Chains A and B, each alone.
Chain A
Amino acid sequence: MASDPMPVDTTNLEPPAIPDQNQNPETKTTPQRPEPKYGGHSRFELELEFVQALANPEYVTYLASRKLLVNPAFIAYLDYLQYWSRPPYLKYLTFPTASLKMLELLQVEQFRKDAINPGLAQALIVEGMKSAVEWHRE
């Protein structure tokens, strides 16, 4: 099973530099020193993977079962991850609908509390499947 997200001190954390740094204004402010890596992966890669993994309701239930969704640092981290809903990061999500919806839901305290309930994951899976199949027929 995947690890806990690493950054805990998310108070002043800026979104990571995107790999293609041609048009990103934030890269101008970042120093030229190489990006720190975690196990050979950049923060961008790890956070992208984590946000996409959130799209899976079972994974969210797993996170809840490890009491991460009541951890203030983790809640702050979820808030920080909302930069994925904005360009230029948005275009790197391959499961944009499910990922961003789950990220949005995870900002709600009640949802974080309910996420430990496997029935909620079930309902999310059923609804997600249904909407994924039905949306193009409208």
Chain B
Amino acid sequence: MNRPPKPDSMQKKLEDSFDRIEKALTAFLDSLMKNNPSEKLAADLVEADRELHNAVKELETHQNNVAKVKRLKEETDALDQKTKAILQNLWDMRKELKSIPTTSYSDAQPKYRFTTAELLSYARLISPHTLPPAAVLHSLDIASSAANAPSPSPNPNSNNPTAQTPNAMTSSVVGTPSASIPAPTTSGAPAPPTPSNVNSTSQQPQQQQTQPPPAIHQPPSIIPPLPPHITPHLNPHEYQHFVPWPTMAQIRSGALMKVQDLINRGIDPKIYDPEEEERKKKEEEQTRKEAEEQARREREEQERRVREERERMMKEHAEAARQAEAAAAEGAAPSSTGSAMKPPPPKQFQFLDDDDDDDDE
């Protein structure tokens, strides 16, 4: 793009052109007045006129260029403003970033390495004890919204939570939805689930019987509420509780209590090991059984020996009796009177002869 001439040079050029055409015109008019027209002067005038025409054309271009320059300058100014604004924003943002307090890790504190898996497993371990179940939180949300609502008969306990007893506080915090969902009461507005409300649920049926809730003021109560004794059966979260620490019952059933129990019984826990005791007991049981078995076997053995002895003796007796009989028969042959006078020897153990085994059975 051609650089436009300076305004003063443009003006000078234009003035020169005017001067020239003026001079040429004057010279031509003089020559006409002297009745001596000169062709050369006329040509000069025409030339001057053409130059003027060119100069005017140039002026037009010049003016256009000036306008263009002006426009460009405005554009530059706008862009400058924009750049400045951006820079200002950047600066502000940097200041903002700088002002954010970051966690400063001092080198004095020891650092511990852990893996994501460890972190996740630990999170899973503690999550049931660090965040109440959703049902409890939900009931708390309802409770808090109900507490925020204006109540014509505000419970004094709701304004002073520290004055509540521990069990009452626990029940209010861990209250389940059924206990905390505000049932329509005679006052016409849902009351916050303070312990007194929770405890007085059993009194509500009588109140409702005597004074049914005004359905005009409370559209939701068109659906009659469930009787309090039925709600627990329909609510799976009824007995869900949350305490962010071990309960006293858990502490009482722990290992420390068992150790205390041992001490109370006069047993030194250092030398007492339930597993060891169990093992010893089993061993004793085993030895006792073995001893019994041994005794039983010995007794059987002894009985067997006695029986054999008895059989042996019986056989001996039988043999002796037979021999005596034989001797008697021999003696009777020479003297039959003697034998007839003498009674036969009593047959001892005769009853053992046929079925002696029956005694042992």
Query: Are B244 and A97 neighbours in the complex by a CB distance under 8 Å?
Result: yes
Query: Are B254 and A6 neighbours in the complex by a CB distance under 8 Å?
Result: no
Is B4 part of the binding interface, using a Cβ–Cβ cutoff of 8 Å?
no
Residues of A within 8 A of B114 (CB): 87
Query: Are B259 and A39 neighbours in the complex by a CB distance under 8 Å?
Result: yes
Is B337 part of the binding interface, using a Cβ–Cβ cutoff of 8 Å?
no
Is B55 part of the binding interface, using a Cβ–Cβ cutoff of 8 Å?
no
Query: Are B129 and A94 neighbours in the complex by a CB distance under 8 Å?
Result: yes
Count residues of chain B with CB under 8 A from any CB of chain A.
46
Query: Are B125 and A39 neighbours in the complex by a CB distance under 8 Å?
Result: no
Is A41 part of the binding interface, using a Cβ–Cβ cutoff of 8 Å?
yes
Contact of B244 among A3, A59, A95 (CB under 8 A): A95
The complex places the Cα of A4 from the Cα of B129 at a distance, in Å, of: 25
B308 to chain A, nearest CB (A): 54
Is A2 part of the binding interface, using a Cβ–Cβ cutoff of 8 Å?
yes
Give the contact stretch, choosing among B7-15, B69-77, B228-236, B265-273.
B265-273
A79 to chain B, nearest CB (A): 18
The complex places the Cα of A4 from the Cα of B263 at a distance, in Å, of: 10
- Chain B residues numbered 221-273 whose CB sits less than 8 Å from any CB in chain A: 242-248, 251-252, 254-260, 262-263, 269-270, 272-273
Query: Are A125 and B169 neighbours in the complex by a CB distance under 8 Å?
Result: yes
B197 to chain A, nearest CB (A): 18
Query: Are B137 and A133 neighbours in the complex by a CB distance under 8 Å?
Result: yes
Residues of B within 8 A of A57 (CB): 245
What bracket does the count of chain A residues touching chain B fall in? 35 or more
The complex places the Cα of A96 from the Cα of B136 at a distance, in Å, of: 21
Q: Chain B interface secondary structure, helix, strand, loop or mixed?
A: helix
The complex places the Cα of A132 from the Cα of B260 at a distance, in Å, of: 32
Residues of B within 8 A of A129 (CB): 169-170, 173, 243-244
The complex places the Cα of A49 from the Cα of B132 at a distance, in Å, of: 22
Residues of A within 8 A of B130 (CB): 95-97, 132
Residue of A nearest to B121 (CB): A91
Say yes or no: A39-B245 contact (C-beta < 8 A), given A56-B251, A59-B251, A136-B131. no
Residues of B within 8 A of A93 (CB): 126
Is A126 part of the binding interface, using a Cβ–Cβ cutoff of 8 Å?
yes
Residues of B within 8 A of A130 (CB): 161, 173
The complex places the Cα of A25 from the Cα of B169 at a distance, in Å, of: 45
Interface residues as binary, B142-179 with A (CB distance below 8 Å gives 1, 0 otherwise): 00000000000000000001101110011001000000
Is A53 part of the binding interface, using a Cβ–Cβ cutoff of 8 Å?
yes
Query: Are B272 and A95 neighbours in the complex by a CB distance under 8 Å?
Result: no
Is A69 part of the binding interface, using a Cβ–Cβ cutoff of 8 Å?
no
The complex places the Cα of A125 from the Cα of B167 at a distance, in Å, of: 10
Pairs A–B under 8 Å by Cβ, sample size 13: A2-B251, A2-B254, A38-B270, A40-B274, A41-B255, A41-B258, A56-B251, A58-B248, A94-B129, A95-B245, A122-B166, A126-B164, A133-B173
6 closest Cβ pairs, A-B complex = A3-B260, A55-B245, A2-B256, A132-B244, A39-B269, A40-B274
Chain B interface residues (CB < 8 Å from chain A): 112, 114, 118, 122, 125-126, 129-132, 136-137, 140, 161-162, 164-166, 169-170, 173, 242-248, 251-252, 254-260, 262-263, 269-270, 272-276
Chain A interface residues (CB < 8 Å from chain B): 1-6, 36-41, 45-46, 49-50, 52-53, 55-59, 86-87, 91, 93-99, 121-123, 125-126, 128-130, 132-133, 136
